[in-house]
């Protein structure tokens, strides 16, 4: 019998869901109207007898939809208009006076009282004198329960949970009392069987045994395991029902990924033209979690081959020691460079979310700039700090990126020239009023040396191109030799301010001003360009096409720039 009743109800709802429905609320109330429509949906059928059988159901649903928003004195007038080809079900609703909140008592009891976990936001909809809204009441109960679960108050419960409605006086009282109980702690972490040593897995744990439980740290642990590159599937499961002495055991289920992956990619930008890339990675090759890989990239202006070997360190998986080697040939206008690099980098994520990289590399360059040529041999220690904060890695709405890179070499310590080089970068993105946003960037650099002629092009500064000063070609801006050929500068300053307007979902129009240059004297003039562009937020990041023109050099033609990838 219950199954037959369910089938009949489904048939009735199927009829109702296909009909045309018109709702009129007096006095006009958009929220009530939308709620009734949600409860009932559209109707589209010519089965008039069945529609009339639904009158009682429609009346009940409309009444409940209004009561959910505090209207307990509604009167519904339902009629069927079958004069058209398709029948129309009309519901005219007289609202009456709403129920208002009188006394509201929301109280946290127990060890969690006054703690960060239960610092509840002010619920304006639940203030005395406000109209009763069942959704706000249920939302507050859910919020308290969620806070308890997120902060480890697993034995918490409501000791009083009352919503008292007096329909005659149009008043309602809320009384919520939640007893938190004690806060639980993190217990032992157990892993499913893998090829890795226990220590490799344990160093990824984002919390200590005995620390106060927090769901955010469990989620961070899950993310770190996935980010390690070792696993295709990760499931971290707290088990509060198996807690002993208030310590929650954590069970981790891991599925190893294929140790090898081969990637073939390509792209195009007006800076380097079409390019193709082939990459091979061995994500793990022993129980200690070491990894290695190699990559090759080919474009018209640049060809390189690189390889690496990476060793994870004793703390979080983001910290590692990477050894690398590479060969590169680059030919841009009259600047040609062949480089061989061998080195190591120590990566560490600091407690304030900055990433620090300490590096040491040996670099040999054979180069020519215009009519001059030379070679250099350098041993370069380096220190880099960077921080990225974004709402999304691919297509963010807001965020920023900061970078500071310092490196140098000393003549006689393998190196053929003394120098110190500093590069700083800041980018910021901010979205406002839903479809307006501003993107700004600033890049500053300087090389200090008494032998600038011996500095290879890879350590000099050039400006111009898609990610620099648009309206000019890639690395087209720099000091020139006596033949008018670019040779790179001691200093770099480039900046940009861009406004974007989203006119269709994922499509934006842009207008921008770029300002900067690569120079040998900080008093040398900088270049200004302006332009317009189109942006598409694709699944792989922003695809950008710009038309720009220099204001500083009116003889320069309009230049089209195309690029793709994350904006920050």
Residues 300 and 236 in one domain: no
Residues 250 and 350 in one domain: no
Among 199, 230, 256, which residue terminates a domain? 256
Q: Which structure tokens are listed for 537?
A: 């937020």
State the CB neighbour count (10 A cutoff) for residue 167. Answer: 11
Q: Which structure tokens are listed for 36?
A: 């009734």
Our count of domains for the chain comes to: 4
Residues 337 and 484 in one domain: yes
Residues 341 and 472 in one domain: yes
pLDDT at 90: 83
Among 94, 110, 139, which residue terminates a domain? 94
Rounded to 5°, the CA angle 528-404-415 comes to: 100
Residue 431 φ then ψ, to 5°: -105, 135
Q: What is the DSSP string of 180-206?
A: --PPPEEEEEEE---SS-HHHHHTT-S
Residues 309 and 382 in one domain: yes
Among 161, 179, 197, which residue terminates a domain? 179
pLDDT bin (cut points 50, 70, 90) of residue 58 is confident
- Sheet (strand 185-191) strand order: 185-191, 247-256, 231-238
Nearest to 524, CA basis, from 495, 493, 497, 551: 493
d(CA 206, CA 186): 11
Residues 400 and 304 in one domain: yes
CB 529 within 8 A of CB 498: no
Output the CA–CA distances (angstroms, integers) from residue 87 to 55, 77, 528, in the order listed: 14, 16, 66
Q: Is the pLDDT of residue 17 over 50?
A: no
d(CA 317, CA 224): 7
**DSSP secondary structure code for residue 487 in this structure:** -
- Which one has a higher pLDDT value, 40 or 336? 336
Domain holding 246, by residue range, is 185-256
- Cis geometry, peptide bond prior to residue 318 (ω within 30 degrees of 0): no
pLDDT at 11: 40
Residues 171 and 198 in one domain: no
CB 353 within 8 A of CB 400: no
d(CA 35, CA 114): 37
HSE (side-chain half, CA atoms, 13 Å) at 521: 4
Mean pLDDT for all residues in the chain: 89
Share of the chain above pLDDT 70, in %: 93
For 318, left (φ over 0), alpha (ψ -120 to 50), or beta? alpha
Residues 313 and 446 in one domain: yes
pLDDT at 12: 42
The CATH number that applies at residue 119 is 3.10.20.310
pLDDT at 458: 92
CB 186 within 8 A of CB 213: yes
d(CA 328, CA 361): 15
d(CA 240, CA 490): 61
- Which one has a higher pLDDT value, 437 or 55? 437
pLDDT bin (cut points 50, 70, 90) of residue 41 is low
Q: Are strands 100-109 and 171-179 parallel, antiparallel or unpaired?
A: parallel
d(CA 245, CA 186): 11
Residues 168 and 209 in one domain: no
Residues 473 and 520 in one domain: yes
Convert the pLDDT of each residue in 369-411 to its tens digit: 877 888 999 999 999 999 999 988 888 999 999 999 999 999 9
Rounded to 5°, the CA angle 372-376-382 comes to: 130
Convert the pLDDT of each residue in 493-552 to its tens digit: 999 999 999 999 999 999 999 999 999 999 999 999 999 999 999 888 899 999 999 999
d(CA 419, CA 435): 46
Mean pLDDT confidence for 200-216: 90
pLDDT at 2: 42
Q: Is the pLDDT of residue 10 over 50?
A: no
pLDDT at 236: 95
Residue 54 φ then ψ, to 5°: -85, 0
Mean pLDDT confidence for 254-279: 87
Q: Which structure tokens are listed for 353?
A: 């979310």
Task: Say how many Å lie between the first and final Cα of the chain, rounded.
Answer: 62
CB 268 within 8 A of CB 248: no
d(CA 339, CA 172): 78
Q: Are strands 231-238 and 247-256 parallel, antiparallel or unpaired?
A: antiparallel
- Which one has a higher pLDDT value, 275 or 20? 275
Q: Is the pLDDT of residue 84 over 70?
A: no
Lowest mean pLDDT segment, chosen from 47-51, 102-106, 191-195, 530-534: 47-51
Residues 382 and 495 in one domain: yes
CB 70 within 8 A of CB 112: no
Q: Is the pLDDT of residue 5 over 50?
A: no
Convert the pLDDT of each residue in 109-125 to its tens digit: 999 999 989 988 878 88
Rounded to 5°, the CA angle 320-326-331 comes to: 135
518 exposure class (CB count in 10 Å sphere: 0-12, 13-18, 19+): buried
pLDDT at 392: 86
Global pTM reads 0.74
Q: Is the pLDDT of residue 425 over 60?
A: yes
Share of the chain above pLDDT 90, in %: 65
Highest mean pLDDT among 35-49, 239-253, 269-283, 312-326: 239-253
The CATH number that applies at residue 304 is 2.40.160.50
Place of tokens 């891991």: 254
Residues 137 and 56 in one domain: no
- Which one has a higher pLDDT value, 482 or 115? 115
Q: Is the pLDDT of residue 16 over 50?
A: no
pLDDT at 315: 64
């Amino acid at each position: 019998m219950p199954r037959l009743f369910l089938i009949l109800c489904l048939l009735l709802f199927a009829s109702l869901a296909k009909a045309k429905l018109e709702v009129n609320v007096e006095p006009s109330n958009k929220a009530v109207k939308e709620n009734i429509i949600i409860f009932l949906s559209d109707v589209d059928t010519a089965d008039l007898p069945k529609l009339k059988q639904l009158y009682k159901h429609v009346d009940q649903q409309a009444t409940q939809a209004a009561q959910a928003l505090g209207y307990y004195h509604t009167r519904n007038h339902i009629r069927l208009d079958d004069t058209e080809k398709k029948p129309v079900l009309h519901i005219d609703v007289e609202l009456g006076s709403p129920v208002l909140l009188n006394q509201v008592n929301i109280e946290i009891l127990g060890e969690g009282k006054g703690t960060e976990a239960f610092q509840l936001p002010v619920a304006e909809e639940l203030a005395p004198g406000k109209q009763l809204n069942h959704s706000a009441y249920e939302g507050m109960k859910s919020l308290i329960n969620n806070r308890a679960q997120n902060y480890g108050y697993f034995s918490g419960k409501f000791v009083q949970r009352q919503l008292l409605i007096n329909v005659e006086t149009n008043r309602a009282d809320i009384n919520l009392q939640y007893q938190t109980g004690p806060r639980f702690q993190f217990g032992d972490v157990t892993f499913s069987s893998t090829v890795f040593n226990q220590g490799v897995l344990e160093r990824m744990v984002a919390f200590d045994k005995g620390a106060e439980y927090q769901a955010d740290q469990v989620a961070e642990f899950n993310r770190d395991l996935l980010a390690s590159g070792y696993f295709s599937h990760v499931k971290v499961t707290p088990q509060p029902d198996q807690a002993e002495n208030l310590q929650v055991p954590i069970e981790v289920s891991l599925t190893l990924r294929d140790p090898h992956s081969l990637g073939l990619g390509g792209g195009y930008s007006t800076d380097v033209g079409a390019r193709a890339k082939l990459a091979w990675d061995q994500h793990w090759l022993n129980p200690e979690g070491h990894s290695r890989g190699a990559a090759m990239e080919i474009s018209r202006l640049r060809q390189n081959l690189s390889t690496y070997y990476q060793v994870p360190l004793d703390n979080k998986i983001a910290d590692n020691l990477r050894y690398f080697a590479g060969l590169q040939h680059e030919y841009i206008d009259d600047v040609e460079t062949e480089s061989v690099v061998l080195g190591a980098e120590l990566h560490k994520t600091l407690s304030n979310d900055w990433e620090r990289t300490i590096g040491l590399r040996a670099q040999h360059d054979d180069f020519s700039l215009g009519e001059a040529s030379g070679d250099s041999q350098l041993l370069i220690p380096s220190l880099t700090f960077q921080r990225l904060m974004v709402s999304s890695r691919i297509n963010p709405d807001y965020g920023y990126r900061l970078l500071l890179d310092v490196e140098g070499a000393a003549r006689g310590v393998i190196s053929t020239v003394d120098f110190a080089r500093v590069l700083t970068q800041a980018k910021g993105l901010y979205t406002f009023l839903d479809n307006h946003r501003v993107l700004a960037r600033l890049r500053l650099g300087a090389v200090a040396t008494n032998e600038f002629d011996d500095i290879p092009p890879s350590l000099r500064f050039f400006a111009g191109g898609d990610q620099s000063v648009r309206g000019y070609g890639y690395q087209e801006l720099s000091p020139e030799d006596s033949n008018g050929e670019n040779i790179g500068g001691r200093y770099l300053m480039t900046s940009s301010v861009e406004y974007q307007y989203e006119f269709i979902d994922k499509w934006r129009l842009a207008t921008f001003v770029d300002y900067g240059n690569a120079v040998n004297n900080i008093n040398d003039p900088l270049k200004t360009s302006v332009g317009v562009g189109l942006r598409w937020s694709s699944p792989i990041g922003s695809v950008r096409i710009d038309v720009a023109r220099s204001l500083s050099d009116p003889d320069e033609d309009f230049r089209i720039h195309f690029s793709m990838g994350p904006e920050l």
